[in-house]
Amino acid sequence: MIKSQNHTSGISITMFTTLVAIYFSVVINVPFYKDLQSIFSSLEEVKTGFVISIPLFLFFSLNIVFSLFSWPKLTKPFFIVLVLLSSIVCYAEYNYGVMFDVDMITNIVETDTGEARAYLSFYALIWVLAIGVTPAIFMMRCTIQPAGKMWLPLLRDKLISITVSLIALAIIFVFYYQDYASVGRNNSYLRKLIIPTQYVYSISGYVKERFFSAPIPYVKLGDDAKQSELAIDQSLDKPSVFIFVVGETARTQNYQANGYDRETNPYTALKNVISFNDVSSCGTATAISVPCMFSNLSHHTFDRDIADHQDNLLDILKRAGIDVLWKENDGGDKGVAKNVRYIEIDRHRKDEFCNGSTCYDMALVEGMNKDIDEMKGNRVIFLHLIGSHGPTYFQRYPKDMAYFQPDCARSDIENCEKENIINSYDNTIRYTDYVLSNVIETLKEKNDQYNTAMMYVSDHGESLGENGVYLHGLPYRFAPDYQKKVPLMVWLSDGFKQAKSINASCLREKAMETGHYSHDNIFHSLLGVMDIETRVYQPDNDIFSSCRMQ
């Protein structure tokens, strides 16, 4: 990209900045051009001059921005780091359709090392070496003219460069403003693909929110929470045990129980499970959806900072005297279980469920009999699955559970055939179904001692290459339904239905309704079904409420 100079004078900072701007506008922003090409192919007519002007628009814009950061002693280290980070962002955007907004930065920061390793591949390494490390080496070897005491010439050159760029942008706008306005209005997500401005802006936003925002006072919710007298009386004779399973990356479109034409739910199909057909997630990434579903905030009002500084569902259940346990197999609870008993599966162990780096979700079911018996009174156990977490779908199920073949046994799924990717993903859904059936069987074995029930809901969905998009985490308003529609299943023992006066036929009818259910219902449904009396409970948001015979 930038050639090392043989003479001692080197190139000027202004020239260095110009060359970097050219590289970013032509090479690093290839994901932006990829989406533009898709947009243009759907239009009846596109002006050739407008198309040619786009890389020029990017160059002149980036040249102005980069000029503000190119100063003696700062230029090289700043742009070396920038190009290395940008090469990673470029890879993720181009191959997976990822957009780096503040929520995505939050998700990245809260991703543990085990999850991060799943994204590593030889293909990714070659990509970053080619467009990140190689130009970074050229930058290091490049000789830049020392400014010395000649600040006026440097400022003059910068002013000229910025002025020329501004004039060029003005000319482009004179000729093609309507075209830019039309494409921009109809495809506002495009600005989120521009590298490096979007991800740098998002990182700064994350840092500001996390470290420089005014302290938020902690708010105690449900301080009046208590179990109903009936629930307490029942716990003395036959306590209730509710298993809440938090799924990972499961989308409802691939659930046989919701109309999918493949056998992805053969195990729970035999368990009289009630499946809700149309449920929306709160977010498109775990870092948002998990805190949101256990918060009393809705999808439209959710703010992670606020949620982190107030009581959530688990806190209120505990305050009401419910014995609460969280079991973790997905790298973290995102702060929701900080005040309750917590067990994390040791992924470093090596046995039938774990290989030293990751564990199958059956490891959560292991020892569940003991977990239940060691608790007291009415009890709720949360199981956080690794579920269908990609891109290494093939690591989420044992080889003898690879029902759909051929599958995609690699992390760079973009290099697999789409059918193979879907096979791998469907295998994860099928394996999760197997895990849920084992949870149900464990609860059935406890029916003489406890009134038992299970609810399962995924945190968000997943894209499997539709319109060139993979994985998840797109900004909610741009994300397809594949990332926002999630499965929700309920299983109730006869004892639980009787103790809670739940009409299962009514609930099954409710489950067929569309446009009514989302993660917003979780908080109030668990408070309701566990008979917690508190002013923060809203019966209208409780999926069981209208089907309980008073």
The pLDDT value recorded for residue 425 is 98
Contact 459, 249 (CB under 8 A): yes
pLDDT at 68: 92
Please compute the mean of the pLDDT values over residues 233-256 and round it to a whole number.
97
Q: What local confidence, expressed as pLDDT, does residue 2 receive?
A: 46
d(CA 219, CA 406): 51
pLDDT band with cut points at 50, 70 and 90 for residue 5: very low
Residue 1 pLDDT greater than 60, yes or no: no
- How does DSSP classify residue 263? -
Does pLDDT of 302 surpass 80? yes
Residue 469 pLDDT grade (very low, low, confident, very high; cuts 50, 70, 90): confident
pLDDT tens, residue by residue, 33-59: 998 998 888 777 889 999 999 999 999
pLDDT at res. 7 = 44
**Alpha carbon distance 519, 466 (integer Å):** 24
What mean pLDDT is predicted for residues 29-35?
A: 93
Rounded to an integer, what distance in angstroms lies between the CA atom of residue 362 and that of residue 350? Answer: 14
Give the model's pLDDT for residue 235: 96
> β-strands 451-458, 341-344: how paired?
unpaired
pLDDT digits (tens, 9 = 90+) for 59-87: 999 999 999 999 888 999 999 999 999 99
The CATH classification number of 239-547 equals: 3.40.720.10
State the average pLDDT for the chain. 92
- What's the average model confidence in pLDDT over 427-431? 98
pLDDT at 401: 97
Share of the chain above pLDDT 70, in %: 97
Predicted TM-score (pTM) of the model is: 0.84
Question: Where exactly are the structural domains of the chain?
Answer: 13-211, 239-547
Strand locations in 173-316 (E): 226-227, 240-247, 274-276, 279-280
Q: 194-227 pLDDT, tens per residue? A: 999 999 999 998 888 888 878 889 999 999 999 9
- Residue 26, pLDDT > 80, answer yes
Residue 208: C-alpha distances to residues 202, 304, 511 (Å): 10, 13, 42
Exposed / middle / buried, residue 489 (Cβ in 10 Å: 0-12, 13-18, 19+): buried
How far apart CA 97 and CA 193 sit, in angstroms, is 9
Helix (H, G, I), strand (E, B) or coil at 541: helix
- What average pLDDT score do residues 182-194 get? 83
pLDDT at 41: 84
